[in-house]
Amino acid sequence: MSMALSVPVLSALILLHLVAFVLAVGAEHRRSKATVVPDRYDERTYCVYSTSASTVYGLSAFGLLLLSQAVLNGVTGCLCFGRGLVMGTSVTAWTILFFIFSWVSFLGAEACLLGGSARNAYHTKYRGIFGGDDLSCATLRKGVFAAGAALTLLSLVGSIFFYWLHSKADTGGWHKHGEEDVGMVSSIIELLP
């Protein structure tokens, strides 16, 4: 008996990944930008930052991707604690490969989204002397959230293939060996009066 491919689970995985992707792309476009502004009270300058919406977008994408991975591993038993797989088949080998691929791409996406959100939320408070050296206002480098979005799509592909292959390779916790059931049935019949 094998685990069937569940359309609601597959739909949830796709929806969570796609919304996380859209939020990561939105975070890339709404990154904080800084401008150096002179202080009107003295001869110093300071950094003024634009909106921090991308931090919220990035953290939301992080949470949705984490939820998607939790759903996937809850359904499949994380390949560690779940039912056994039929060993020695190419389906099992591909299942393990896509399990690793989905985890690597998931961890990469999460690192980009969390690191990008943390760096985007960081605003320097440095002040410089007006007319002196250019003041450096720390901002997030372009492409961090975009990398998180790309890895989110790779995680989606890995998760879908892992779930599909796992449903094909899953034994449901037991494996039928040869003619065992025929022997049991004949033994029971012999015991009947």
Q: Answer yes or no: is 78 within a domain.
A: yes
Q: Answer yes or no: is 2 within a domain.
A: no
Q: Answer yes or no: is 110 within a domain.
A: yes
Highest mean pLDDT among 15-29, 65-79, 134-148, 159-173 belongs to: 15-29
The answer to whether the pTM exceeds 0.85 is no
Mean pLDDT of 26-31: 90
**For residue 116, what are the CA distances in angstroms to 15, 17, 168?**
23, 18, 37
Residue 12 and residue 93: Cα distance in Å, rounded?
A: 25
Quick one: pLDDT at residue 180?
47
- pLDDT of 22 over the 90 cut: yes
Q: Which domain holds residue 106?
A: 7-170
Q: Answer yes or no: is 179 within a domain.
A: no
Give the chain's domain count. 1
Q: Answer yes or no: is 162 within a domain.
A: yes
Q: Answer yes or no: is 36 within a domain.
A: yes
- pLDDT of 73 over the 80 cut: yes
Q: Answer yes or no: is 190 within a domain.
A: no
Q: Answer yes or no: is 176 within a domain.
A: no
